[in-house]
Amino acid sequence: MTVKYIDSNVLPNKYANFSPCLNSELNQSKVYNGKTYTLLGSFEKTYPLIRRIEIGIRAVFKTLFSLGFGLLFESVREDWKTFWNGKKRKIIYTFSSFLPVKLLADQGDAKSQYLFGLRYINGQGVAQSDQEAFKYFQLAANQNYADAQYSLGCMYENGQGVAQSDQNAAQCYQLAANQNHVKAQYNLGVMYMHGQGVAQSDQEAARYYQLAAKQGHAKAQFSLGFIYAHGKGVEQSDQKAVKYYQRAAKQGNASAQCNLGVMYSSGRGVPQSDQEAARYYQLAADQGDLIAQRNLRTMRENGRLNNIA
């Protein structure tokens, strides 16, 4: 067994039957010439008879001239093994972060296909290409990889690298949402709320917002608060609206902070409090929320901030 170190983003042709290591007892990284290399995989080379004889002769001379001590060296032992079985295993390490992902993606690993799609989206190590990104996302999505299904949904929805299609976007989001993908659940809720690629349904929107909100998705929590406040697809409840607005507001969602200000200002679902209303308006205004800025200005003009410390 010999170790090879590769700096290029391209695997040399001589390693045509290379097999990447997904799991290995070998060291996952090695330092060579001051650089840290990552385990890429193994390559087994088969030698013809004439070459095996040459290797055998070399092994004999090394052993004789070292008075037998050559057998203590790994290189000599490897020569003898190659002579007898005609094969030599090479372990390959790479300095490239690109090469391992590319090789695994081309050999059908779903996660690597998804990661390689991201590289094309961001132009990381490759020329930026939405079309190539879509291709790799599709390969991973076909293997039921949820992140790839969600990414395909985004590309269909935005017409990025593919013809825009709300129907296809909704289908991809649905596949990912079925696997509890939180962003897909939220996006599917939005599509049901607006009848975008699916039949409009406040009830289905509420259901998917609820699924995403349970996983802590701030926008879903805000949206759930909004539909409870207005009774869209759920029984109207100011108390539940406040509960979800508060959860989203704690995560810094400006719209939720602004709407909480409205609830406190009017005493809906909470005791009326100009102080709390102003506090939440200010949090949202500091993030550039125009409605919160306007509401703060109105409170100031009406003298409702005069008694607030």
Q: Given a cut of 90, is residue 101 above it in pLDDT?
A: no
Selection from 139, 99, 126, 120 nearest residue 18 by Cα? 99
CA 148, chain centre distance (Å): 8
Phi-psi region of 212 (alpha: psi -120 to 50; beta: other; left: phi over 0): alpha
Q: How confident is the model at residue 122 (pLDDT cuts 50, 70, 90)?
A: very high
The CA dihedral of 124, 126, 128, 130, to the nearest 10 degrees, is -100
Mean pLDDT to the nearest integer, 276-288: 97
Selection from 122, 121, 171, 119 nearest residue 149 by Cα? 171
Report how far residue 257's alpha carbon sits from residue 254's, in angstroms, rounded to the nearest whole number.
Answer: 5
Domain positions in the chain are 95-215, 221-308
95-215 and 221-308 share one CATH topology?
A: yes
Q: Given a cut of 50, is residue 70 above it in pLDDT?
A: no
Q: Given a cut of 90, is residue 60 above it in pLDDT?
A: no
Residues in a beta bridge with 2: 90
Q: Is 3.40.1710.10 the CATH number for 221-308?
A: no
Per-residue pLDDT, 79: 64
Q: Given a cut of 80, is residue 147 above it in pLDDT?
A: yes
Q: Given a cut of 80, is residue 255 above it in pLDDT?
A: yes
Is pTM beyond 0.85 here? no
CATH number of 95-215: 1.25.40.10
Q: Strands 2-6 and 87-94: what pairing?
A: parallel
- Tens of pLDDT, residues 196-249: 999 999 999 999 999 999 999 999 999 999 999 999 999 999 999 999 999 999
Per-residue pLDDT, 181: 98
